[in-house]
């Protein structure tokens, strides 16, 4: 789970950050939570944040809380594999490079004042390659987070972007377990409430791996259980361009196979 600290000035903060960078991989704790963080932390320390290559999961000034994501290899592996898979899918349905932008950790500000940085964010491009205010699809890869925390985060993305973030795809990969589950949360609006968006579960599945106790390695997927193919709308695109992205079982197997095997083989 996340490790919690109280912010005691920039010097102490940097010492804690550097100490945790060394042990994050071994401990498997990818989140650091600092409470009592100064209201304008990001503005005052922008240069330091860039220099230290800090991954900000969320900064909520009203709560005086800063959540950092540590550079665990599994996160980067999952990002890279997911990035390649989505790129292939979008090319397959006829989208061009200037129709979309897929960012590793692109940050944006929700309408509740929180600055957030998801693991992957897919932006539809408006006009002359202009980036939208919010991404259309967000990916979150949970290692130390609980399922409830991922659900709450997905709901915040959708609720506080007023549905502009159309879908949140959560990959849940807890430590020391031989499976990954995935859930897609879709934007939903009650008919009588124009701007009151919330998240609903749109699709989910489970991919299971068996462990070979003799070799210490993990084999290929043994069983797959899903609700079937998931069709994800990717926003408005030029006329005649397909506006759906199919996230199929085969692709999820590819993503999770590489994620699991690379992490456990070190």
| Mean pLDDT of the residues in the chain | 75
Express each pLDDT in 91-104 by its tens digit: 777 777 777 788 87
Check residue 173 and give its pLDDT.
74
Residues 6+ apart with CB under 8 A from 26: none
Mean pLDDT of 152-170: 90
**How do strand 230-233 and strand 120-126 relate by DSSP bridges?**
unpaired
Gap between the Cα atoms of 226 and 249, Å rounded: 7
Closest C-alpha among 15, 137, 8 to residue 64: 8
Gap between the Cα atoms of 209 and 178, Å rounded: 5
Residue 211 has pLDDT above 80, yes or no: no
The verdict on domain 73-265 having CATH code 1.10.3470 is: no
* φ and ψ of 73, to 5 deg: -55, -35
Residue 181 has pLDDT above 90, yes or no: no
Instruction: Of 47-61, 193-207, 247-261, give the range with the top mean pLDDT.
Output: 47-61
Q: What's the pTM value of the predicted model, to 2 decimals?
A: 0.79
Q: Can you point out the beta strands (E) in the chain?
A: 3-6, 31-35, 55-60, 65-69, 100-104, 108-109, 115-116, 120-126, 130-131, 137-142, 167-172, 179-189, 197-212, 217-226, 230-233, 244-247
Residue 28 has pLDDT above 60, yes or no: no
Domain ranges of the chain: 3-69, 73-265
């Amino acid at each position: 789970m996340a490790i919690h600290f109280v912010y005691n000035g920039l010097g102490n903060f940097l010492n804690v950050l550097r100490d945790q960078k060394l042990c994050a991989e071994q401990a498997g704790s990818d989140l650091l939570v600092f409470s009592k963080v100064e209201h304008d932390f990001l503005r005052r320390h922008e240069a330091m944040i860039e220099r230290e290559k800090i991954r900000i999961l969320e900064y909520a000034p009203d709560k005086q809380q800063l959540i950092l994501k540590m550079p665990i290899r599994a996160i980067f592996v999952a990002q890279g594999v997911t990035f390649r898979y989505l790129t292939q899918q979008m090319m397959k349905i006829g989208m061009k490079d200037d129709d979309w932008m897929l960012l590793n950790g692109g940050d944006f500000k929700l309408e509740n004042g929180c600055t957030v940085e998801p693991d992957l964010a897919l932006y539809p491009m408006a006009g002359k390659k202009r980036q939208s205010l919010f991404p259309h699809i967000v990916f979150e890869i949970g290692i130390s987070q609980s399922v409830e925390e991922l659900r709450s985060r997905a709901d915040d993305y959708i609720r506080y972007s007023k549905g502009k973030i159309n879908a949140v795809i959560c990959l849940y990969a807890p430590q020391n377990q031989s499976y990954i589950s995935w859930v897609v949360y879709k934007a939903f609006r009650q008919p009588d409430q124009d701007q009151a968006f919330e998240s609903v579960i749109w699709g989910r599945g489970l991919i299971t791996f068996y462990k070979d106790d003799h070799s210490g390695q993990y084999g290929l997927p043994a069983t797959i259980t899903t609700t079937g193919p998931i069709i994800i709308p990717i926003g408005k695109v030029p006329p005649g361009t397909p506006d759906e992205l199919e996230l199929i079982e085969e692709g999820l197997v590819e993503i999770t196979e590489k994620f699991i095997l690379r992490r456990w083989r070190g």
